[in-house]
Amino acid sequence: MLNFFFHTRFDYTLMIVSIGAALLGAISGALGTYAVLRRQSLLGDAISHAALPGIAIAFILTGSKTPLILVLGAAIAGWIGTLFIVTIVRLTRIKYDSALGIVLSTFFGFGLVLLTLIQRQGNANQAGLDTFIFGQAATLLQRDVLTIGILGGFALLITSILWKELKLLVFDEGFAASIGLQTRLLDIVLTSLLVIAIVIGLQAVGAVLMSAMLVAPAVAARQWTNRLNLMVILAGCFGAFSGVVGTFISSSATGIPTGPTIILCVTFMVVFSIVFAPNRGLLWNSIKQRRNRRSLKLVTNRLVESASANNRIIENDNRKY
């Protein structure tokens, strides 16, 4: 075991990938907390799929695969997708879930069309664009990790600056509006932060699995605490931890892709938290239930005893007269 870690410590690629995965897990975990609390867990899924045409268009326009440019394209497309969803829900009777479904599938389809267009042009540079669909953490380079770190750090900074406002928006939007906060603006800011967290992770884990990176750490963290600040920190830690563990597991054997392994790690943490978390967990609940049942039985037994004792006294009294 020690030998394993000692050996891998000097593997530069592995180090870069695991740092990238850890950063990504921390950022998406922390920002995903807000999405989960606002019951927008699947917005991440929609944004990550909707980002594909943006990546393709960014590539067609600039011909470069610089992560920053592709991320910018992805962010703009993800943003437009979110705008679509909000507009559909606001102006028609179509519900949130259908709006999400339409945007995620059709935007993704449009992205595929653009990708086949690019492929047909036979641009030698295009290889690697489809890593954005399935993700390929192993291809993370130092510049990618730098991009993740800078953009993610920026997103986390904004979150901490607007901490109080975002907290109010999440838990009581009506009250936030009533005390004069710009809830619409805050909503836009929060969604933009979510978009940032998603697009920087697309290359590593891909469109399909990115949504789990947002949802799972937050759900796991939710089981352990009722406080927002602790939940954000815990979710960040869970995300980072599973990023590192997933990277190491996938590097320990051939043919285990990194992204899915990270997702399975974080899913395992969710299951563990749901079962074992104190106060909320299933195990804790069943113990509590059993204890309640026992104490209820004790109380009823005592009542029955005292009732029969009373009866005896009454009977004795009756006999006297």
Partner 1 sequence: MITENINLLTAIIAVVSASACALPGVFLVLRRMTLMSDAISHAILPGIVLAFFLTHSVSSPFLIVAATATGILTVVFVELLQKTKLVKEDAAIGLTFPALFSIGVILISRYSKNIHLDIDAVLLGELAYAPLNQLDINGREIGPVALYVMGFMLVLNVVFILVFYKELKLVTFDASLAATLGFAPTLIHYGLMTLVSMTTVGAFDAVGSILVVALIVGPPATAYLMTDSLTRMLILSVIIGSINALGGYWLSILLNVSIAGTIASVTLLVFVLVFLIVPNRGLVSIARRHIRQKWEFAQTMLVIHLFNHEGLPEAQEESEIAHLHEHLRWEPSFALRVVKNALNNRYVLQEASQLMLTERGRAKAQRTLVQ
Q: What does the binding site for partner 1 look like in residue numbers (CB under 8 A)?
A: 36, 39-42, 44-45, 49, 88, 91-102, 104-113, 115-117, 120, 130, 133-134, 208-209, 211-212, 214-216, 218-219, 222-223, 255-257, 259-261, 263-264, 267, 270, 274, 280-282
**Which has the closest alpha carbon to 149: 229, 50, 207, 67?**
67
CA–CA gap between residue 90 and residue 94 (Å, rounded): 9
- Alpha-carbon Rg for the chain in angstroms: 26
| HSE toward the beta carbon, residue 183, CA cutoff 13 A | 14
Based on CB atoms, which residue is closest to partner 1, 93 or 320? 93
- Whose Cβ is closer to partner 1: residue 68's or residue 106's? 106
- What is the distance, to the nearest Å, from the Cα of residue 181 to the centroid of all Cα atoms in its chain? 26
Output the smallest distance, CB 1 to partner 1, in A.
22
Smallest gap, in angstroms, from Cβ of residue 179 to partner 1? 27
Closer to partner 1 by Cβ: residue 147 or 218 = 218
Nearest distance from residue 27's CB to partner 1, in Å? 17
Q: CB 112 → partner 1: shortest distance, Å?
A: 3
Of 101 and 149, nearer to partner 1 (C-beta) is 101
Q: Could you identify the residue written with the tokens 């907390």?
A: 33
Q: Measured in whole angstroms, how far is the alpha carbon of residue 5 from the centre of its chain?
A: 28
Q: How far is the CB of 49 from partner 1 (least distance, A)?
A: 7
Residue closer to partner 1 (CB basis): 3 or 226: 226
Rounded Cα distance between 88 and 100, Å, is 10
Q: How far is the CB of 101 from partner 1 (least distance, A)?
A: 4
Angstrom distance (rounded) from CA 191 to CA 189: 6
Helices (H), the chain: 2-9, 12-37, 43-62, 67-91, 96-120, 131-134, 142-161, 163-171, 173-178, 183-224, 228-251, 258-276, 282-320
Between residues 53 and 67, which has the closer beta carbon with respect to partner 1?
53
